């Protein structure tokens, strides 16, 4: 195995207590991080006393509000060879970083690697910390590691080879503001020009998918579901079919479920955001940054 340095990078907003719980789990890594960077949207989003309990070195990085801005600030602040982005509500298996180091050493063409979700609370009502921890601790991975090509990494757990990022000036698109819907896809496709984007079954974890705070309100997210895809397509990082397939699927789900929405999803707000984006698309005024005025 190589002697690569690894940084964990966490962008966080409005989840002070959840962040503290997640960092307590990071202390369990068999192969510890060389750097732990946390970039809060606001200073009060970080419990500094809780951070002091982490056994390694923690750097709180200042950045502008927005996932892309915060991630770019951590990229600029790090000297690590590999950066692993975790959401503030993602709990990795204890061997996650160990497996990342092994994977990147085995194949120098891997640019981005995302892991296997044992369970993803973002697809439902979300998981409480104790539920996610129990799922993580009872997971038994007995199979052989499987590495397969994918179109893009999943931002809640995404390992990045930093040399090409620095060499080619790859960055998260700051024209995708706030929650920055699909910034992970756009970033992955920039790096795809230089190597492989993969999913590795040996990189395992549980995504709590917390609904209580940190995500964009329904109308903003609904607008982003359309505007961000159009923006990424126009950059050349998503085909026309991929853009419209995603737009139609999101719109259809919001429309079908708006009459009886899930308690944890603002379907009517998303649907309104979709319609506002369609109107702006027809009038030539669509812009992801318009959510800043909503």
For residue 50, the model assigns a pLDDT of: 81
Say if residues 139 and 204 touch (Cβ distance below 8 Å). Answer: yes
On the 0-12 / 13-18 / 19+ scale of CB atoms within 10 A, 27 is middle
Condensed to tens digits (0 to 9), the pLDDT of residues 4-14 reads 999 999 999 99
Say if residues 198 and 150 touch (Cβ distance below 8 Å). Answer: yes
- How far apart (Å, rounded) are the C-alpha atoms in residues 51 and 61? 13
Rg of the chain taking only CA atoms, in angstroms: 19
- Rounded average pLDDT over 27-45: 94
> Closest Cα partner for 249 from 218, 267, 225, 269?
225
Q: What is the pTM of this model?
A: 0.93
- Rounded average pLDDT over 234-245: 97
Longest dimension (CA), the chain: 55
Condensed to tens digits (0 to 9), the pLDDT of residues 80-136 reads 999 999 999 999 999 999 999 999 999 999 999 999 999 998 888 889 999 999 999
What tokens does 159 get? 């390992």
Condensed to tens digits (0 to 9), the pLDDT of residues 182-239 reads 999 999 999 999 999 999 999 999 999 887 654 567 999 999 999 999 999 999 999 9
CATH 3.90.550.10 in the chain: give the residue spans.
6-207
Highest mean pLDDT among 37-51, 67-81, 202-216: 67-81
Continuous H helices in 61-194: 67-77, 96-106, 129-138, 162-168, 183-191
Band of residue 279 on the pLDDT scale cut at 50, 70, 90: very high
Q: Which CATH superfamily is domain 6-207 in?
A: Spore Coat Polysaccharide Biosynthesis Protein SpsA; Chain A (3.90.550.10)
């Amino acid at each position: 195995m190589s002697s690569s340095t690894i940084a964990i990078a966490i962008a966080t907003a409005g989840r002070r207590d959840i962040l503290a719980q997640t960092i307590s789990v990071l202390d369990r890594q068999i192969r510890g991080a060389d750097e732990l960077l946390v970039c809060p949207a606001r200073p009060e989003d970080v419990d500094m006393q809780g951070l002091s309990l982490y056994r390694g070195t923690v750097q709180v990085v200042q950045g502008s509000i927005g996932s892309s801005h915060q991630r770019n600030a951590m990229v600029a602040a790090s000297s690590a060879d590999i950066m692993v982005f975790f959401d503030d509500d993602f709990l990795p298996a204890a061997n996650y970083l160990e497996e990342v180091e092994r994977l990147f050493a085995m194949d120098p063409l891997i640019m981005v690697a995302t892991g296997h979700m044992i369970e993803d609370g973002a697809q439902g009502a979300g998981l409480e910390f104790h539920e996610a921890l129990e799922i993580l601790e009872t997971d038994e991975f007995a199979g052989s590691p499987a590495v397969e090509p994918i179109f893009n990494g999943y931002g809640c757990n995404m390992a990045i080879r930093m040399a090409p990022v620095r060499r080619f000036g790859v960055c998260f698109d700051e024209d995708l503001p706030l929650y920055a819907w699909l910034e992970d896809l756009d970033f992955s496709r920039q790096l795809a020009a230089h190597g492989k984007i993969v999913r590795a079954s040996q990189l395992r974890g549980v995504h709590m998918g917390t609904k209580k705070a940190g995500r964009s309100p329904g109308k903003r997210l609904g607008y982003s579901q359309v505007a961000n895809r159009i923006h990424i397509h126009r950059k050349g990082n998503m085909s026309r079919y991929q853009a419209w397939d995603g737009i139609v699927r999101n719109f259809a789900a919001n429309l079908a479920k708006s009459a009886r929405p899930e308690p944890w999803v603002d379907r009517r707000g998303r649907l309104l955001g979709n319609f506002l984006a369609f109107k702006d698309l027809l009038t030539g005024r669509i812009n992801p940054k318009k959510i800043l005025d909503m």
